[in-house]
């Protein structure tokens, strides 16, 4: 490295984060980098994130390889002006020009690469010093579809989305780091396909069913990521240390659906956020937590601690695993504020932009299992919390209603709410009272004064 090289160190990523594991280098030795350009990806006990370059220059040296774990403050790489790396390509190039025969035995190593690949450009010839994975990643963006390399940049989540949308991934250009195809690329391709002329409708109708998408993971063995290990350990620890069970209620949310349809246009115009069912469920839950704080409590030894606030963890499905960013003081927020904060946290969680401290301090969890069509499930309570509320899919079906004092059949919107809880301190009656309060609030649907618009 040249004398002007700057060391890139692992920055502090939160009060409780002391180390991290390098998961992927986004740049190879010799690559130019700009200030704040993502340099590598790192995984910690709290969150996966990208480490940006603190300076502009050329990546001169990688000090920590992929899958290695280092402490906060450790040097990861060196970035300089590029003077030292620029001299590297000249040495191999000068060897073939030397006519003196006596130089051949003196420099056998540089002569060999030049003889093996006489037609290659000098820049690629200078890359042998870079780690093999990084070189592959560096080459992938220029030819993402060559030799099946695109598998590196297409996650199972994106593949499943592409299959659902009928998008051929071979025709999609990735906008992610290293040419990786992201969810947004697939959705954009799907929209483009919908706006195309309908002339091909007949051939499509006559075509056979699309072949089953076979995951590249089939028949392989993969090492657990650091995040997956943490999730696994916490899940087992919670199940072993607590007595968990689940209570489920069915809620008629027809009035909420009608209110949402009536105000969602105005809501988005004034707030910039789409109005889903989730903030209605969140508001109803935090109000019930205030009335029945045992659901919001934690166990410390032989004591039950009742927090003076409602910090709601929101389960977010990401390509790396399940993460639960926290909406702090949710009990003091209206629907617009809850919608904004939930959307912001979810987006930054999926884009690796979340701060580790934003994953801490939750007292109760909401998990929207219905977003994938599930009617309900039995979610696991993660310590130190004592309860988690699963929100099922909102579905329309026939229901019995009272019309002029008589029973009648009507099309209604229903959702299942599943509360898992720690039976060491929460009884079934406690769970039923909490769910009853949430159910009553949603079925009354008197949220006009809580919209925040």
Three-state SS sequence of 319-347: CCEEECCEECCHHHCCHHHHHHHHHHHHH
Per-residue pLDDT at 197: 56
Strands of 158-272, DSSP E: 244-252
One fold for 143-206 and 226-450? no
260 pLDDT higher than 60: yes
Give the mean pLDDT of 219-247: 92
352 pLDDT higher than 90: no
User: Residue 218: is it exposed, middle or buried by C-beta count within 10 angstroms (0-12/13-18/19+)?
Assistant: exposed
User: Residue 442: is it exposed, middle or buried by C-beta count within 10 angstroms (0-12/13-18/19+)?
Assistant: buried
329 given a catalytic annotation: no
154 pLDDT higher than 70: no
Q: Are 213 and 163 in contact (CB under 8 A)?
A: yes
Per-residue pLDDT at 364: 98
The pLDDT confidence band at residue 404, using thresholds 50, 70 and 90, is confident
Give residue-wise pLDDT tens across range 267-319: 999 999 999 999 999 999 999 999 999 999 999 999 999 999 999 999 999 88
Give the DSSP letter of residue 120. Answer: S
Give residue-wise pLDDT tens across range 160-213: 788 888 888 888 887 766 677 877 888 888 888 877 655 455 555 567 888 888
Give the mean pLDDT of 63-87: 79
62 pLDDT higher than 90: yes
User: Which tokens hold the place of 212?
Assistant: 């089953």
The pLDDT confidence band at residue 47, using thresholds 50, 70 and 90, is confident
The topology (CATH level 3) of 6-86 is OB fold (Dihydrolipoamide Acetyltransferase, E2P) (2.40.50)
Question: Rounded to whole angstroms, how far apart are CA atoms 334 and 364?
Answer: 18
137 pLDDT higher than 70: no
Q: In whole angstroms, what separates CA 47 from the centre of its chain?
A: 10
Which residues 6+ apart lie within 8 Å of 158 measured at CB?
169, 181, 182, 183, 186, 319
The pLDDT confidence band at residue 155, using thresholds 50, 70 and 90, is low
Per-residue pLDDT at 182: 76
35 pLDDT higher than 60: yes
Give residue-wise pLDDT tens across range 80-96: 975 444 444 444 444 44
Superfamily of domain 143-206: E3-binding domain (4.10.320.10)
Per-residue pLDDT at 3: 57
User: Which residue in 67, 427, 430, 450 is the catalytic one?
Assistant: 427
Rg for the chain, CA atoms, rounded? 28
Which three-class secondary structure state does DSSP give residue 161?
A: helix
Q: Answer whether 0.75 is exceeded by the pTM.
A: no
420 pLDDT higher than 50: yes
Give the DSSP letter of residue 279. Answer: H
Which single residue is written with the structure tokens 């920055």? 11
Q: Which is more confidently placed, 98 or 346?
A: 346
Task: Using CA atoms of 49, 54, 56, 61 in order, give the dihedral in degrees to the nearest 10.
Answer: -80
Which three-class secondary structure state does DSSP give residue 189?
A: helix
User: Which residue in 149, 344, 423, 450 is the catalytic one?
Assistant: 423
Per-residue pLDDT at 130: 41
The pLDDT confidence band at residue 133, using thresholds 50, 70 and 90, is very low
389 pLDDT higher than 90: yes
Q: Are 179 and 144 in contact (CB under 8 A)?
A: yes
Per-residue pLDDT at 145: 37
309 given a catalytic annotation: no
Give the mean pLDDT of 315-339: 93
User: Which tokens hold the place of 269?
Assistant: 């115009």
**What average pLDDT does the structure give for the chain?**
82
Q: Are 261 and 442 in contact (CB under 8 A)?
A: no
> Which CATH architecture group holds 226-450?
2-Layer Sandwich (3.30)
**What residue segments make up the domains of the chain, in order of their start?**
6-86, 89-125, 143-206, 226-450
Q: Are 53 and 162 in contact (CB under 8 A)?
A: no
**Residue 89's closest CA among 123, 112, 135?**
123
The pLDDT confidence band at residue 127, using thresholds 50, 70 and 90, is very low
In the chain, the percentage of residues whose pLDDT exceeds 90 is 51
Question: Rounded to whole angstroms, how far apart are CA atoms 151 and 261?
Answer: 40
């Amino acid at each position: 490295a040249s004398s002007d090289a700057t060391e890139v160190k692992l920055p502090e990523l939160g009060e409780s984060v002391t180390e991290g594991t390098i998961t992927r280098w986004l740049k190879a030795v010799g690559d130019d980098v700009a200030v704040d350009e993502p340099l590598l990806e790192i995984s910690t006990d709290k969150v996966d994130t990208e480490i940006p370059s603190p300076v502009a220059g050329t990546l001169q040296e990688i000090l920590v390889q992929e899958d290695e774990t280092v402490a906060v403050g450790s040097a990861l790489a060196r970035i300089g002006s590029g003077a030292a790396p620029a001299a590297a390509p000249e040495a191999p190039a000068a060897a073939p020009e030397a006519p003196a025969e006596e130089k051949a035995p003196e420099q056998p190593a540089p002569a060999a690469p030049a003889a093996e690949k006489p037609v290659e450009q000098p820049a690629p010839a200078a890359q042998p010093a870079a780690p093999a994975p990084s070189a592959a990643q560096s080459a992938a963006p220029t030819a993402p579809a060559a030799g099946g390399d695109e598998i590196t940049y297409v996650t199972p989540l994106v593949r499943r989305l592409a299959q659902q949308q009928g998008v051929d991934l071979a025709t999609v250009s990735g906008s992610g780091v290293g040419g990786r195809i992201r969810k947004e690329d697939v959705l954009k391709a799907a929209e483009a396909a919908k706006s195309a002329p309908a002339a091909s409708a007949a051939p499509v109708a006559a075509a056979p069913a699309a072949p089953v998408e076979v995951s590249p993971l089939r028949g392989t063995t993969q090492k657990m990521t650091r995040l997956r290990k943490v999730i696994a350990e916490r899940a087992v620890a919670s199940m072993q240390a607590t007595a968990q069970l689940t209570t489920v209620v069915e809620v008629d949310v027809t009035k909420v659906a009608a209110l949402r349809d009536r105000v969602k246009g105005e809501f988005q115009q004034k707030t910039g956020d789409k109005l889903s069912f989730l903030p209605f469920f969140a508001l109803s839950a935090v109000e019930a937590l205030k009335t029945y704080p045992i659901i919001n409590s934690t166990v410390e030894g032989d004591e039950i601690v009742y927090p003076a606030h409602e910090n709601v963890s929101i389960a977010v499905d990401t390509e790396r695993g399940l993460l639960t960013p926290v909406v702090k003081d949710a009990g003091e927020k209206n629907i617009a504020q809850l919608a904004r904060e939930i959307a912001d946290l979810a987006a930054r969680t999926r884009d690796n932009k979340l701060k580790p401290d934003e994953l801490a301090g939750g007292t109760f969890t909401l998990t929207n299992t219905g977003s994938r069509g599930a009617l309900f499930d039995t979610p696991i309570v993660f310590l130190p919390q004592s309860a988690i509320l699963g929100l099922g899919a909102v579905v329309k079906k026939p229901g019995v209603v009272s019309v002029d004092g008589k029973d009648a059949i009507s099309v209604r919107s229903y959702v299942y709410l599943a509360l898992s809880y720690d039976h060491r301190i929460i009884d079934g009656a406690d769970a039923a009272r909490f769910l009853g309060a949430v159910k009553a609030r949603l079925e009354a649907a008197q949220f006009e004064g809580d919209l925040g618009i």
